[in-house]
Every structure is written in structure tokens, then in C-alpha cells.
Amino acid sequence: MDARLHHLQGKAKRVKPAELVELLRECYRDKSALRQRHLAAARAVTDYDFNNTYQYVLNREEIQMQWLADAIQDRGGKVDDAPEVVVKAGSGKSGQAAVMRDDAAGAQAFVDKWKPRLPAVANARNRKMLEVIVGETIEAKRFFDQMVGGRTDLLGRSADGARTSGAVLPTRWVGEKR
């Protein structure tokens, strides 16, 4: 092994095991807050194609939060979910675009906070998990930016170019209990 590499590794500040649990808990709280925001935004953004993209982002965030929760609980920690939020969209397309711009900014803030912290995570498995979460958050930001620009084909295109028009209902239908 190169002696210079050993010297460099000795200078790097690494996250200790006890600090790792707190770092993962902090990331979980931040991701939970982001997910709550996106859940509320999905209720406000009713355009069918844009809402489908929100549903995709929400599903990915649920998986990310499960990964984080598992990593935290494996180390004896507890997770804290963020409280629900309400998002009010202005009227029409401009109101929905404002919501999507805010979500793009929120995703960028998450990336700006977490990406520089990744090299300090000594546990390769947890570092890779965090890298994937940051990468998927970058993808979500790109989706939000493209929705603001009017792109409706983010999750794929119809073979014949047809588009599903309309809006989603503000509340989900629940079947009657019998």
C-alpha cells in the first residue's frame, strides 16, 4: 500500500458509528419533510400527467425512507416522521407551476445539504444508499423543472402520440363499506 494513501486516510474526518445513526436520522427527517411536501403538492397539482409524475416521485421517496428506516433501526435508532403540510396552489397553470418551482427548489436544497456530506460516511453500504437517495432527488428536481417547462411526457410517451387529458380528483375515491 502506498504510504501517502495511508497518510491521506488518516487526515480524513470520518463519521463514527454513533454519529452515523444521528446522520441517518437527520437525513430521514429531511427526506420525510420533503415527502410530506410532495404529498401535499400532489393534492394541489391536479393536471393528470404532472400528478402522475408526483406519484412516481412519492413512490421512490417511500422506498428511500424505508431504506433509511431499516439502516437506523439496524443500529438501534428510532425514526421521526415529519408532520403533514398543506400546499395551496394558485389558480390555473401558473399556480401549479409555482408549486412545482418550489418543489424543484426544495429538492435542490436537499441535494446541496447532503451531497457534500457523503464522503465522510465510512460505512460503504450506507454511503452508497445515501448516494442513490441524493441521485434520485436530483432526478426528482429535473422532473419538477421539466413540469414547470410544460413537459407532460416525463414517464413515457404513447405510441400514437395521444395524451390523457383532464385532472385528478382532489381526494381519492374510497369504496363503500358493506
Domains for the chain: give ranges and CATH numbers: 15-148 (1.20.1260.10)
Q: What residue spans of the chain are helical by DSSP H?
A: 3-11, 17-44, 48-74, 92-114, 124-148
Percent of the chain predicted with pLDDT > 90: 61
What is the Cα 73 distance to its own chain's centre?
Answer: 20
Is 16's pLDDT higher than 80?
no
d(CA 121, CA 112): 16
1 vs 49 pLDDT, higher one: 49
Distance (Å, whole) CA 11 – CA 14 = 9
What is the tens place of the pLDDT at every residue in 42-73? 989 888 888 889 999 999 999 999 999 999 99
Contacts of 160 (CB under 8 A, 6+ apart): none
Q: What band does 131 get if pLDDT is binned at 50, 70 and 90?
A: very high
Cβ burial, residue 124 (10 Å; 0-12/13-18/19+): exposed
| Cβ neighbours around 126 below 10 Å, total | 22
Residues 94-117 have pLDDT tens digits of: 899 999 999 999 999 999 999 999
In the prediction, which pLDDT does 73 show? 96
What local confidence, expressed as pLDDT, does residue 148 receive? 94
- What does the pLDDT average to over 69-78? 95
82 burial level (CB within 10 Å; 0-12, 13-18, 19+): middle
Confidence band for 5, pLDDT divided at 50, 70 and 90: very low
Q: Report the distance separating Cα 146 and Cα 148, nearest Å.
A: 5
Question: Structure pTM?
Answer: 0.79
Q: Which of 14-18, 33-37, 68-72, 78-82 has the lowest mean pLDDT?
A: 14-18
Q: Is residue 3 predicted with pLDDT exceeding 50?
A: yes
